[in-house]
Chains A and B, each alone.
Chain A
Amino acid sequence: MRRIAPLGLRTRLIAAFLLVAAISAVTTAALTYQQARNAILKQTQDTAISTLRDQVEQQEIRLPLDQAELQRVVIELGKRGKPHPWIVFGEYGSLRVSTNPDTPTSGVITDNLRERVRRHDYTAFQRVEDARGNPWLTVGVPAVFEHNGFKESTGAVFFASVPLSAERQTVEAMVDAAKQGAVPGLAIAIVPALLAARSVLRPVRDMRRAAQHLGRGRLDTRIEVRGADELAGLARTFNETARALEQSVRELQEAEVRARRFASDVSHELRTPLAGMLAVTEVLDEDAERLDADTAKALRLVSAETGKLAVLVEDLMEISRFDARAAELNLDDVDIAEAVRKTLERRHWIDDRVVTELPDGVRARLDPRRFDVILANLVGNALRHGGAPVRVTVRTAPGRGGQDGERLLIDVADSGPGIAPEVLPHIFDRFFKADAARTRSAGSGLGLAITLENVRLHGGTLLAGNGPSGGAVFTLDMPLEARV
C-alpha cells in the first residue's frame, strides 16, 4: 500500500473539518437545487399542460376535420401559450398543421410521444433537447368528445412545444449561486476549523511537552486535567502513569541508595577490625618461622588473606565514594612524563616489560594520586591479563570542537591475545572476570571499574579495544587541565 506522507495533526484536523463542511454544503446544495429545479420544471409543465388542455377544451370542432378547420384550431391555440409562447401542432388523420406554416411537423416531438398520445386518450408530456441542445417541453393532448355518454376519441391530437430556455437560465443561475456561495463558505469554515484544531491540539501540545519533560527525567511532571473528554482521560492516564513511574523510580533509587549505603557501611565496619589485624600480620609472619609447619602455614595464610582483604575493602570503599559522588579531585600541576615514570618506578616496572613513549615538557593539571591509580591499574592489568611488553604512549591532542582545552591521550597496549569481543562490553564491570577459570585474580576485581571512575572524575573517557597487532589497547582521553 502506498504510504501517504504523514501530515500534521493540525492539517489533518482542518482537512477533515473542511471535508465534512464541503460534503454537507455540497449535499445540501445539491438536494436543495434538485428540489428547486424540479419545482420550477413542474410548475412550467403543469402550467403548460393544463393551459393546453383548457385551451383545447374550449374549442369546438367539426368532425371530420379538414385542413382549414384544423388550422383554425391550431392558430387559436397558438395564441394562448402559457407560461411561454409555444408552437402548437395539430394532427388529424394525415393532416399536419402548426402555428408556423413553414413547419407543419415538429422537430422536437418524438414519435414515442405522438404514438402514446394518439393511441391512448391521455395527455402526456416529454422533455427533450433539440439538435442544438436547447431544452424543450413537448405536450400532447388528444381531443375527445362526448358521444352517447362516452368519451370518444375525435382522432385529433394537439401538441405544444414550449422552449425551456428561461427555466434553464434560472437553474443555471441557481448552480452559479451555489458555486459562488460554496467557496466563501468553505473559506469561512476554515476559521472554526482552526479554532477547533487549536482547542484539540492545545492539550495534545501540553501532553507532548509534559512527555518531553518526563523523558528528561522530571518525573514530577503532571498535566492539568481540563474537562471530561477523551483528551482529559488521556491526561489523567498520563498523570497516573507519571505518578507510577515516579514512584517506581523513587523506589528503585531508594533501593539503590540502600544497597550502596549497605556496601559502604559493610566496608566501613570491616575496616576497623582489618586495621587491627593488618597491624599484626607482621608479627604473625615473623613468628611463623618458629612454629611447627602447619601452624606456620595457617598463620601465613591468614596474614596473606588479611592483606588481600584490606585491599578489597579499600577498593570497595573507593567505589562507594564514587557511587555516593563523594570522591574529590585534589588537583595539582604535574609533569606527565615524570608522573608516568614515577608510577612505573614505584611498582618496579622499570625493566623492558613496559616500554614508554613520553613527550617532554607536557604539564597537566590532575589528581596525582588518582592518576597513579589509573595508570597503575591499566599497566598492571595489561601485564597480568595481556602480556609483556606493555607499551605506554602519551600524547596530547587539540580539544574537540575547539571548546574543550587540550586533551591528554594515553594508550596502554599489551602484547597479549587481546580482549574477546563478547568480553569487551563488560570489561569495566565490577567484579568482572574475563578469565572464567581464574576465579580470584590478583586484584580485587574492582580495578578497572575504579580506573574508569577515576577517569570520569577527571572529565575523561576510557575506551577498551584491540590493537591492529592483536593486543588489548586501553585509550585514556582526558582534559589536560581537569576541573573540579
Chain B
Amino acid sequence: MTRRRRSSRAAAATAVLTGCALLLTGCGIKRTGVIESGHAASVKVPGAGKNTVLYFVSKEGDRLVPTPFTLFDGYTLGPAALVRLLLDGPTGRAGEAGLTTALPRLPSGTADAVAVSPYAQERGMTVRVPFPVGDLSALARKQLVCTVGVSAVADTLSPVILQGTDTTLPSDECDLNR
C-alpha cells in the first residue's frame, strides 16, 4: 500500500519534472556545434581550365592552395619552367596573400638541374630536382606532383615521379581533395 502509493507519487513527480524540464530546455535559442550543411560554393575563376596552376601551401600550412596565372594566349610554359616557378615560392599577389611553400628554395645556380621528362601515357612524367626528395614533407611532394601533374599537359592529370639527389620516389598522382 505504502510502497504503491510512494511509487505512484514518484511517477507523478517525474511527470511534472519532465514537463518542467521540457519547458525549460525548450526556451530561447540555444547554441549549437558546427553543423555541415551542403556543398561548397562554386565560383567562377576566369580562365579556369586553361590556366596554369601553381600549388602553394595555405597560411596555416595544412593544404594546397591553387594559384593560377594566365599567360598570354598562345604561350605555354614548359614543365621545367613551371617547376622552377614553383620552387621560387609565392610571389606577387600570392605572396601578399600570405601563401607559403613547403619546398626548399632552389640553390642558386642549380636552376638548370631541374628537368621534367616528356609525358608518356603510362609512366606520366618524371621530375628531377637538384635536392633530396626523401625528406620532403607530404605537402611538399604534393606541391610538385600537383603542379606538374595538373598543369604540364592540358586536360590531363598525369602521374609524376619525383627524382631527387638522393632517391627516386614512386609514381604519384595529384589528389587534391582527398
Partners in one complex: yes
* Interface residue ranges, A against B (CB under 8 Å): 1, 19, 22-23, 26-27, 29-31, 33-34, 37, 41, 45, 49, 52-54, 56-57, 59-67, 92-95, 110, 112-113, 116, 118-129, 135, 139, 141-148, 150-156, 158, 164, 167-168, 171-172, 175
Could you tell me if B19 and A23 are in contact, using CB atoms closer than 8 angstroms? yes
Query: Does B16 reach chain A (CB closer than 8 Å)?
Result: yes
For A151, what are the chain B residues with a Cβ–Cβ distance below 8 Å? Answer: 40, 42, 177
Chain B hits for A19, CB < 8 A: 12, 16
* Number of inter-chain CB pairs below 8 Å: 196
With A64-B93, A145-B43 as contacts: A119 and B37 at CB distance below 8 Å: no
| Residues of A contacting B177 in the complex (Cβ-Cβ under 8 angstroms) | 121, 150-153
- How far is it, in angstroms, between the C-alpha of A110 and the C-alpha of B41 when the chains are bound? 20
Is residue B59 within 8 Å, beta carbon to beta carbon, of the partner chain?
Answer: yes
B44 within 8 A of A: yes
With both beta carbons as reference points, the residue of chain B lying nearest to A35 in the complex is identified as B26
In the A-B complex, list the 8 residue pairs whose CB atoms are closest, starting with the nearest. A94-B98, A56-B41, A155-B65, A93-B97, A93-B98, A30-B22, A145-B45, A135-B29
Most buried by B among A19, A93, A167: A93
**Quick check: B29 and A127 within 8 Å, CB to CB?**
yes
Closest B-chain residue to A158, C-beta based? B41
9 further contact pairs, Cβ within 8 A, besides A57-B42, A64-B67, A141-B41: A33-B26, A54-B41, A59-B43, A63-B68, A65-B97, A125-B34, A146-B48, A153-B63, A175-B27
Contacts of B157 in A (CB 8 A): 148
Is B109's CB within 8 Å of the partner chain A? no
CB distance from A402 to the nearest CB of B (A): 49
Pick the residue among A1, A93, A126, A142 that contacts B40 (CB under 8 A): A142
- Min CB distance A482 to B, Å, is 54
Instruction: Tell me the nearest residue of chain B to A116, going by C-beta.
Output: B34
A31 to B18, CA, bound (A): 12
Contact B45 A62 (CB under 8 A): yes
Residue numbers in A under 8 Å from B62 (CB-CB): 119
Residues of A with C-beta under 8 A to B60: 118
Residues of B within 8 A of A65 (CB): 93, 97
The minimal Cβ–Cβ distance linking B146 to chain A, given in whole angstroms, is 10
Q: Which of A110, A124, A129 has most B Cβ within 10 Å? A: A124
Question: Which of B16, B41, B51 counts the most chain A CB atoms within 10 A?
Answer: B41
How distant is B73 from chain A, measured CB to nearest CB, in Å?
17
